[in-house]
Chain A
Amino acid sequence: MTSKGSNRDALDRLTAALVEDILSASDEEIIAEALEDREVPAGAVAAVRAVFEKAARLAAKDRLAAARLAVTRDRVRSASGSPLDPSEARRRLGRILAQDPNLTLAARKGQDLTDKEVLGLLEDLKDLGLAADPDEP
């Protein structure tokens, strides 16, 4: 048989083939193999579930950290008076409008407004004291 690529690649391809065999094995075979390896299936299953729950906690922690960072950035941007980018302005307008059923239908058609009109509307709402973003702390 002629050699294709490096030895390292060959080992990787062997591993991939072995994994493919694990994927195509029946459930009964997988459980039988655990028993052959003197694993207690219930214990091994509980261990995998524990790995998953730990991963879920870590992922949630990461999401929380990312959300906190976004809030901090938003505060810094608000404090510095930097202009909002148009898509963020549109999102903010949407959140404000969603909170106030008294605003007119025309004002709710944010999709039809130009970026300049969206920013202007936000400024008008701010002047009227109606620009409190429900997602802002």
Chain B
Amino acid sequence: MRSGQAEQPLLSQAEIVEAIRGLPDAGLLRLRRIARAFARSCPVEGDDLLQEAFIRAIAGARQCPRHIDIVRFLAEAMHSIASGSAKAHRRQAAAQARDPALRLVPIAAGAVSDDPRSQDVPSPEDVAASEDEAGRIKTAVLNLFEGDLAAQTIIEGDMEEMEAEDIRQLIGLDRVRYASKRRLIRRRIDQAFPNGWKP
């Protein structure tokens, strides 16, 4: 950058492309793992989710503040796409349940709007059915750690959006053991739910 020229607060599209191309192997593997984690809660495959996040970043549909790490920026994009896609899929499934003549078709990641106003509102029965299913999944996740009170407390803390440090203090583990426990939780969930949240 030339001296005297103010640094722009957002990365340009060319800088985003350069940053992604310049990621080390571990950065790319990390992106893939993140894509798979978010894909668990939506009907889009991990690689498709990642591709859509790349497209939105390259096309400028999402802007990356200069101070944000590019992997985190792409993770946030995937989060948003997965969330929009999951909501649209639940609405579509609910509409089909009400009218079996409707055919359920896979939702392409790129076709999903992140704007909740652009979709129909699910009925109270749809919400209740979705909640029941999510409740069964929660129980299945906790059952993976039967007898491991620390792991179950961490998971419940995460579900309650507690700060990681607060959870650590609650269960009284030192930082190393806490990090190790969190890794065990993540890896066991990866293995138990390789194809999405299914009770």
Contact = CB atoms under 8 A, between A and B. Distances in A.
Nearest to A50: B47
B161 A4 contact: yes
A70 interface: no
A13 B41 CA distance: 11
Interface-central residue, A18, A28, A41, by most chain B CB under 10 Å: A18
Contacts of A6: 131, 134
A11 B134 CA distance: 7
B47 to A, nearest CB: 5
A1 B160 contact: yes
A19 to B, nearest CB: 5
B135 A23 contact: no
Nearest to B46: A51
B25 to A, nearest CB: 5
A42 B24 CA distance: 11
A19 B25 contact: no
A20 B30 CA distance: 11
Given A41-B25, A52-B54, A33 B33 contact: yes
A86 to B, nearest CB: 25
A76 interface: no
Q: Tell me what chain A mostly uses at the interface: helix, strand, loop, or mixed.
A: helix
B47 A47 contact: yes
Contacts, number: 132
Interface in A22-44: 22-23, 25, 27-31, 33-34, 36-37, 41-42, 44
A29 B29 CA distance: 11
Given A10-B134, A11-B137, A14-B155, A45 B29 contact: yes
Given A48-B50, A49-B28, A52-B20, A11 B183 contact: no
Contacts of B186: 18, 21-22
Interface stretch (A56-64, A94-102, A124-132): A56-64
B75 A7 contact: no
A48 B32 contact: yes
Contacts of A1: 153, 156-157, 160
